[in-house]
C-alpha cells in the first residue's frame, strides 16, 4: 500500500460516486417528465409494496411487542407505566418504524432489484433496449425508483400501526396497563414533528435503497473488482445489501440530528 494506491482508490471512489449521482439525477428527471409509465410503476408498487406486506406485518407485531416489553420492564421500576403508550408510540414512529421497515425493504426489494437489473446487464438485455431505441433509465429505472419512494412510507406507516397494536397486546392485555392510558398517553405525547421525522426518514431510506440497487445493477459491467458474469451478479447484490445498510444507518443519524 502506497500513496499511488490510495490516490487511485480515492479517485475510483469519487468516480463511482459521481456516476451514481448523475444516474440518480437522470432517473429523477425521467420520473417528472413525460412520457410517464403508469402500468410498470403500478406493477412495481405491487411487487415492492403489496408483496412485502406480510413480512412488514409480522416484523411490526414482534417489534411492537418487544419494545412494549422492554419499556414496561423499565417504566415499572419508576412506577410510571402510564407512559408506556407514549414511549412505544414515539420510539416506533421516530426511529424503529422507518429503520426496521428499511431493513425489510433492503432484504426483499433491494437485493431482488439489484439481481434483476444486473442479470439484465449481464445478458445484454440492457444493450438490447438501447439498440431498440428504448431508454433503459425511463423504461426500467424510473418505475422502480418511483415505486420504491411511494411504497417505503406506506410500508413504514403499516409497520408503525401494527407495532402499536403489538405493544397494546403486551402492555394492555398481558400486563394490564389501562387501555385509556396507553392510547391517551400516546395521543398526548406524539407531536406532528415526530410524524414528520418518521415520514422523512422512510422516504429517504426508500430512495437510498432503490438508488443503491439500481445503480449497482446498472453499472455491473463497470465494476472493477475483477469478477465477471454470474459471479459479478452475486457480488454486486451482496454489495448492494451491505452498502444500503450502512448508508441507511448513516442517513438515519444525519436526518435525526438535523430534525431534532
Partner 1 sequence: MAATQENQPVIDIRNLSCYYGDKLALDNINLTVNEREILVIMGHSGSGKSTLLRNILGLLTPSSGQVEVLGKEISRLKKKELYELRKNIGVAFQNGALFSSLSVRENIELPLREHTDLDENTIQIMTMMKLTQMNLADHGDLMPAELSGGMLKRAGLARAVIMDPKLLFFDEPSAGLDPVTSAELDQLILQLRDALNMSIVIITHELESAFNVADRITVLDQGKQILTGSREEIKASSDQRIINMLGRIARDEDVDAEAYLHKLTHKNLPRK
For the segment 134-173, give every residue that binds partner 1 (CB under 8 A): 134-135, 139
Per-residue DSSP letter, 51: G
Considering the complex, what minimum distance in angstroms separates the CB of residue 161 from partner 1? 33
Rule CB under 8 A: say whether 120 interacts with partner 1: yes
Candidates 3, 4, 54, 132: give the one binding partner 1 (CB under 8 A): 132
Which lies closer to partner 1 via its Cβ, residue 16 or residue 74?
Answer: 16
Rule CB under 8 A: say whether 29 interacts with partner 1: no
- The window from 6-14, 86-94, 128-136, 232-240 that contacts partner 1 (CB under 8 A) reads 128-136
- The window from 65-73, 119-127, 157-165, 237-245 that contacts partner 1 (CB under 8 A) reads 119-127
Rule CB under 8 A: say whether 131 interacts with partner 1: yes
Q: Is the separation of the CB atoms in 244 and 208 below 8 Å?
A: yes
Mapping DSSP to helix (H, G, I), strand (E, B) and coil, where does residue 1 land? coil
Rule CB under 8 A: say whether 124 interacts with partner 1: yes
Cell of 8: 487511485
Rule CB under 8 A: say whether 74 interacts with partner 1: no
Q: Is the separation of the CB atoms in 68 and 173 below 8 Å?
A: no
- What is d(CA 71, CA 17) in angstroms, rounded to the nearest whole number? 41
Rule CB under 8 A: say whether 127 interacts with partner 1: yes
Cell of 193: 414533528
- What is d(CA 76, CA 102) in angstroms, rounded to the nearest whole number? 31
Considering the complex, what minimum distance in angstroms separates the CB of residue 67 from partner 1? 39
- The window from 96-104, 132-140, 186-194, 248-256 that contacts partner 1 (CB under 8 A) reads 132-140
Cell of 93: 414512529
Rule CB under 8 A: say whether 70 interacts with partner 1: no
- What is d(CA 249, CA 256) in angstroms, rounded to the nearest whole number? 11
> 463497470: which residue's cell?
222
**Longest CA pairwise span in the chain (Å):** 70
Amino acid at each position: 500500500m502506497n500513496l499511488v494506491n490510495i490516490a487511485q482508490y480515492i479517485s475510483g471512489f469519487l468516480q463511482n460516486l459521481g456516476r451514481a449521482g448523475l444516474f440518480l439525477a437522470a432517473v429523477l428527471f425521467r420520473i417528472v417528465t413525460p412520457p410517464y409509465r403508469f402500468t410498470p410503476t403500478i406493477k412495481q408498487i405491487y411487487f415492492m409494496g403489496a408483496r412485502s406486506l406480510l413480512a412488514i406485518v409480522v416484523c411490526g407485531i414482534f417489534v411492537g411487542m418487544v419494545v412494549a416489553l422492554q419499556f414496561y420492564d423499565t417504566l415499572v421500576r419508576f412506577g410510571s407505566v402510564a407512559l408506556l403508550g407514549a414511549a412505544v408510540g414515539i420510539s416506533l414512529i421516530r426511529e424503529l418504524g422507518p429503520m426496521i421497515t428499511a431493513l425489510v425493504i433492503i432484504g426483499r426489494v433491494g437485493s431482488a432489484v439489484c439481481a434483476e437489473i444486473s442479470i439484465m446487464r449481464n445478458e445484454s438485455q440492457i444493450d438490447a433496449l438501447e439498440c431498440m431505441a428504448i431508454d433503459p433509465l425511463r423504461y426500467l429505472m424510473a418505475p422502480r425508483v418511483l415505486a420504491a419512494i411511494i411504497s417505503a412510507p406506506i410500508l413504514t406507516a403499516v409497520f408503525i400501526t401494527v407495532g402499536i397494536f403489538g405493544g397494546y397486546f403486551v402492555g394492555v392485555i398481558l400486563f394490564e396497563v389501562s387501555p385509556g392510558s396507553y392510547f391517551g398517553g400516546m395521543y398526548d405525547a406524539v407531536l406532528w414533528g415526530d410524524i414528520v421525522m418518521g415520514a422523512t426518514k422512510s422516504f429517504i431510506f426508500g430512495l437510498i435503497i432503490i438508488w443503491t440497487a439500481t445503480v449497482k445493477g446498472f453499472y455491473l459491467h463497470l465494476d472493477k473488482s475483477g469478477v465477471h458474469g454470474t459471479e459479478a451478479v452475486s457480488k454486486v447484490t451482496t454489495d448492494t445489501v451491505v452498502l444500503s445498510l450502512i448508508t441507511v444507518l448513516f442517513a438515519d443519524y444525519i436526518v435525526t440530528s438535523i430534525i431534532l
